[in-house]
Amino acid sequence: MNDSLLITGGTVLTVNETNEVIEVGAVLIEQGRIADVGEAAVLEAKYSNIEKLDAAGHVVLPGLVNLHLHSGLIRGTAEDLPVFEWLTKYVDPKHRALTDELAYAAARLSYTEGLLAGTTCVMDMYRFMHRCADAAEQLGLRATLAPYVVDKPGMDYFESLDKNIRLVEERNRTANGRIQVWFALEHLTYCTEDAYRRAAKLAEKYDTGIHTHGEESIAMARRLHAETGRWPVELFYDRGILGPKTVLAHCVWLQDSEMELLAKTGTSVAHCPVSNLKLASGIAPIKELLDLGVNVGIGTDGVKENNSLDMLEEMKYVPLLQKARLLDATAIPAEVALRMATIDGAKALGLDKEIGSLEIGKKADLIMVDFRKHHLTPIIRGKYNNAVSNLVYSASGSDVSHVFIDGKPIVRERKLLTGDAEAIRLEAQEAAEKLFELREPFIPV
């Protein structure tokens, strides 16, 4: 494909400051960036000699940003348990058995699943992340890598801050800038106070971000408060990690004081609604966070706790849960959910000047969703335009037909172009079977 391409004839959701919708629109890609956006008729006349991609019947929008992901291989095998019992019985034993080659297979599987469903950018918290970097680079994905760092005694099978430093030095801002590396800490109960303080200094030194788990268990939030006299976000504040370059996952159980700290410090939240439902964690107070001006993006969490990496499916749960929780049908409009899955996720990663909306000068990370489906019919224009509503409430990852990252076609007509999707699946199947075999001795009786 040439360096220039005009995607034309589809409904363009720009997700710009005014949430502009161009009902019969076009997007011009040149040398990996968006060179023009506007009415299809105008751009077709203006760029008559440029290769065209017919987007009629499709919605064109920014690529989706999955703000909290754990690559993995144990989907569907660690079920129906509360979060900390689930971690102890199944997840931690998996980490004891994991190898770099198994982590590579997990990343390739997870990234492929995400790409085929319209995710162009992820924040992945996993292990052996030099292999995750390899997978992202090969597949063309934009990825922020956040290693599982743990320093409590007896848990040395996780990553260390020293390994995190090496990953930053070796892979941060590589793959033409598509790969970032952040400092990451697993959880308050897994990491010492010193680890948080050291991570804050390292993030400042290397000019990168910090990712960790905010509390998703009410019992653990209460336990931490009973032991320390401080709520989880207050502990993060005390340890110096809050700020505009920090993302906290979940944050289901927040006191008013914690929400105010998040707003005051400019800290972002990665909301994972499906995982929070599946693990019976609860429903995060997203409406209140947004009202305070906290930046909130959306994450799927991992395949072991979701069990899907479908960001279009995830996006639907965001407004539905807040409407039900507050008994307020206006709590979070569809347009807000779309922003959370695109530009707000990009902002959390410090990438909103480059991706997250379809605007001239930004990198051409965009997707096409085929609306020529029964469940996405009718397509209404004008006064009752329903493109955003149908996208949020009716679409799924299987409706994504095309994916571009840096202007490069990654998925065309639902076919992955940067790897052999079936070979990746078979590789992951074999790796999962090996992982279960290696994990068995570590499963508690």
Spell out a b/e string for 113-124, using b for 16 or more CB atoms within 10 Å of the CB, else e.
bbbbbbbbbbbb
Query: Is residue 201, in this structure, part of any structural domain at all?
Result: yes
Q: What angle do CA 265, 268, 273 make, to 5 degrees?
A: 140
By mean pLDDT, which of 43-52, 79-88, 364-373, 417-426 is the weakest?
A: 79-88
Query: Is residue 439, in this structure, part of any structural domain at all?
Result: no
Do both 184 and 311 map to the same domain?
yes
* Percent of the chain at pLDDT exceeding 90: 93
Do both 260 and 325 map to the same domain?
yes
Give the number of domains in the chain: 2
C-beta of residue 368 within 8 angstroms of C-beta of residue 404: no
By mean pLDDT, which of 48-52, 82-86, 136-140, 289-293 is the weakest?
A: 82-86
Domain end point (choices 292, 321, 348): 348
DSSP structure class, residue 415: E
Do both 256 and 306 map to the same domain?
yes
Do both 104 and 176 map to the same domain?
yes
Give the pLDDT confidence score for residue 445 in this predicted structure: 75
CATH number at residue 185: 3.20.20.140
Q: What angle do CA 158, 162, 167 make, to 5 degrees?
A: 85
Do both 165 and 287 map to the same domain?
yes
Residue 75's Cβ-side half-sphere holds a number of Cα atoms within 13 Å equal to 18
In tens, the pLDDT along 118-133 reads: 999 999 999 999 999 9
Q: What angle do CA 72, 78, 80 make, to 5 degrees?
A: 135
Give the pLDDT band (50/70/90) at residue 136. very high
Give the pLDDT confidence score for residue 154 in this predicted structure: 87
Per the prediction, the chain carries an average pLDDT of 96
Do both 271 and 399 map to the same domain?
no
Do both 103 and 156 map to the same domain?
yes
Do both 229 and 93 map to the same domain?
yes
In tens, the pLDDT along 232-262 reads: 999 999 999 999 999 999 999 999 999 999 9
Do both 26 and 85 map to the same domain?
no
C-beta of residue 41 within 8 angstroms of C-beta of residue 24: yes
Tokens of 326: 């507050």
Q: Does pLDDT of 423 surpass 90?
A: yes
Mean pLDDT of 207-226: 96
Query: Is residue 55, in this structure, part of any structural domain at all?
Result: yes
Give the pLDDT confidence score for residue 1 in this predicted structure: 44
CATH number at residue 19: 2.30.40.10
In tens, the pLDDT along 143-194 reads: 999 999 999 998 888 999 999 999 999 999 999 999 999 999 999 999 999 9
Give the pLDDT band (50/70/90) at residue 85. confident
- Which residues are paired to 444 by β-bridges? none
Mean pLDDT of 381-406: 97
Do both 278 and 400 map to the same domain?
no
Query: Is residue 83, in this structure, part of any structural domain at all?
Result: yes
Domain end point (choices 348, 366, 382): 348
Query: Is residue 26, in this structure, part of any structural domain at all?
Result: yes
Do both 73 and 16 map to the same domain?
no
Give the pLDDT confidence score for residue 49 in this predicted structure: 95
Give the range of the structural domain holding residue 72, as residue numbers without chain letter. 64-348
Q: What is the DSSP string of 57-118?
A: TEEEEEPEEEEEE---S-TTSS-S--HHHHIIIIIHHHHHH--HHHHHHHHHHHHHHHHHTT
Give the pLDDT confidence score for residue 126 in this predicted structure: 97
- Which residues are paired to 297 by β-bridges? 270
Mean pLDDT of 13-21: 98
In tens, the pLDDT along 321-349 reads: 999 999 999 999 999 999 999 999 999 99
How far does Cα 417 stand from its chain's mean position? 21
C-beta of residue 391 within 8 angstroms of C-beta of residue 341: no
Do both 160 and 287 map to the same domain?
yes
Mean pLDDT of 270-286: 96
Give the pLDDT confidence score for residue 87 in this predicted structure: 83
In tens, the pLDDT along 92-102 reads: 899 999 999 99
